[in-house]
Amino acid sequence: MDTFVDSSWYFLRYPSPQESDRPFDPRQVAQWLPVHQYVGGSEHSNMHLIYARFFTKVLHEMGWIDFDEPFARLFCQGMVCNMAHRCEEHKWLGTDEFDPRTRTCRRCGGAVASEMAKMSKTKKNGVSPDELFAQYGADTVHAAILFLGPPDGDIEYDERGVQGVHRFLKRLWDTVDERLPAVEGVTPCDGKAPVSEPWRSVRRKCHEILKRVTDAFETHTFGFNTCLSGGMEIVNALRDAGIPDDPVGRSVCREVLDLTVQMLSPFAPHICEEMWKRLRHDDATIFRVRWPCFDEKALALEEVEIAIQVSGKVRGRAVVPKGIDQEAALAAALKVHPVTVALAGKSVLRAVWVPDKLLNIVAK
């Protein structure tokens, strides 16, 4: 039968592919379907998706299935694009068929025009994943595809992006490896004991990114590019904090390493499984461990940065405890050197306080 017919009901066949005398087992279909999440290109919207809905509704009216919509949710991902090259005589050319310096066809010498286009066999602008796997590894390629742009937008392929993700994964490995002696046998922080800087900020950053990654899955936004960039932020925070030498710092570092490896495991599964084992989680694979919960208390800011104005002009900034009153904010502001210089020889008439944001000192 025509492939359009086949692709209009294939999802009904998947739950019971062994059936030989009927298209599907209605009991299996009732258990597994409709599809919870459909991910596909926007080019499916005016053909395949319409046909699939038509077949589903007909089968529903015939009493074969108990639902009349095949897919509960739809997400249209963007396309991966790359430069495509074409000459008038030989049409689409591979990268080895034209001279990039003279922009001419190697076969006929004719002029070559280039354009950014969706990767396809026809336009010969695809990139062999096998070659990338061999050079960078599967984790790098997998993570790079997710990192190069928002999931619902087209992305322009650039190998420098692949190289950047490869460097990040190596940096992640080194960050874990360097801290293993300090955290071995240490119980992860549970948030009950007070944590001082810099580890308080590291812990806050980790739980902030964990919330972002969790939301990307649970809300079906699939913003995995920002999840990976968040992982980079955590690694930077860990490296800035250094290697802990006190019990509380070690417990926070242990917690952050565990959570970071776990939250990045869907994107780089092989290296994260290896790091999970090196962190002495010998009882189970990382993919059998319950997904972690972020700590709301860790996300709360205990300090805020406020802008300080003198007669409406910003003269400085100060980090103050969150929720302080105007009097305390003014006292903190008067210790900021550029503010004291701006107030030299002047009298403070009044202060305008926007809590946790801004203090304007009116002076004359």
Q: Judge if 177 and 309 occupy the same domain.
A: no
Q: Judge if 163 and 291 occupy the same domain.
A: yes
Q: Judge if 196 and 272 occupy the same domain.
A: yes
Q: Return d(Cα 209, Cα 267) in angstroms, integer.
A: 14
Q: Judge if 73 and 86 occupy the same domain.
A: no
Domain C-terminal end among 299, 321, 351: 299
Q: Where are the alpha helices (DSSP H) in 114-246?
A: 129-136, 138-147, 159-183, 199-218, 224-241
Specify the pLDDT at position 194. Answer: 84
Q: Judge if 240 and 290 occupy the same domain.
A: yes
pLDDT tens per residue, range 127-145: 888 888 999 999 999 999 8
Tokens matching residue 73: 């949710």
Choose the weakest-confidence range: 233-242, 298-307, 326-335, 352-361. Answer: 298-307
User: What are residue 255's phi and psi, to 5 degrees?
Assistant: -60, -45
Q: Is residue 293 part of a domain?
A: yes
Does residue 59 have a pLDDT over 80? yes
Domain C-terminal end among 59, 77, 95: 77
CB atoms under 10 Å from CB of 154, counted, come to 13
Does residue 40 have a pLDDT over 90? no
Q: Are 234 and 256 in contact (CB under 8 A)?
A: yes
pTM assigned to the model: 0.74
Q: Judge if 176 and 187 occupy the same domain.
A: yes
Tokens matching residue 140: 């790098």
Tokens matching residue 146: 């997710």
What's the alpha-carbon Rg for the chain, to the nearest Å? Answer: 29
Question: 109 in the Ramachandran plot: left (φ > 0), alpha (ψ -120 to 50) or beta?
Answer: left
Q: Judge if 66 and 101 occupy the same domain.
A: no
List, in order, residues 6 or more apart from 11 with CB less than 8 Å away: 33, 35, 52, 70
Q: Return d(Cα 45, Cα 48) in angstroms, integer.
A: 7
Tokens 């008038």 label which residue?
88
pLDDT tens per residue, range 147-171: 988 888 888 888 888 999 999 999 9
- Reduced to 3 states (helix: H, G, I; strand: E, B; else coil), residue 70 is coil
Does residue 109 have a pLDDT over 90? no
Domain C-terminal end among 13, 44, 77: 77
Q: Is residue 133 part of a domain?
A: no
Q: Is residue 150 part of a domain?
A: no
Question: 185 in the Ramachandran plot: left (φ > 0), alpha (ψ -120 to 50) or beta?
Answer: left
Q: Judge if 66 and 97 occupy the same domain.
A: no
If pLDDT is split at 50, 70 and 90, which confidence band does 44 have? confident
Q: Return d(Cα 174, Cα 251) in angstroms, integer.
A: 19
Q: Judge if 54 and 112 occupy the same domain.
A: no
Residue 283: DSSP 8-state: S
Burial of 247 (0-12, 13-18, 19+ CB in 10 A): exposed
Residue range(s) defining the domain that contains residue 88? 80-126
Q: Is residue 328 part of a domain?
A: yes
Q: Return d(Cα 2, Cα 199) in angstroms, integer.
A: 62
Q: Is residue 145 part of a domain?
A: no
Q: Is residue 147 part of a domain?
A: no
Average pLDDT over residues 320-336: 88
Which CATH number do you get for residue 169?
Answer: 1.10.730.10
Q: Judge if 189 and 252 occupy the same domain.
A: yes
Tokens matching residue 171: 């940096």
Q: Where are the alpha helices (DSSP H) in 184-283?
A: 199-218, 224-241, 247-264, 269-278
Which CATH number do you get for residue 335?
Answer: 3.10.20.590
Q: Is residue 260 part of a domain?
A: yes
Would you report the helix, strand and coil content of the chain in percent, each value rounded to 5? 45, 20, 35
Does residue 268 have a pLDDT over 80? yes
Q: Judge if 274 and 316 occupy the same domain.
A: no
CB atoms under 10 Å from CB of 159, counted, come to 12
pLDDT tens per residue, range 200-229: 999 999 999 999 999 999 988 899 999 999
If pLDDT is split at 50, 70 and 90, which confidence band does 45 have? confident
Q: Is residue 142 part of a domain?
A: no
Closest of 233, 174, 172, 168 to residue 201, by C-alpha: 233
Average pLDDT over residues 77-95: 86
Specify the pLDDT at position 276. Answer: 94
Specify the pLDDT at position 211. Answer: 95
Specify the pLDDT at position 213. Answer: 96
Q: Judge if 165 and 291 occupy the same domain.
A: yes
Average pLDDT over residues 110-138: 87
Number of domains comprising the chain: 4
Q: Return d(Cα 197, Cα 333) in angstroms, integer.
A: 22
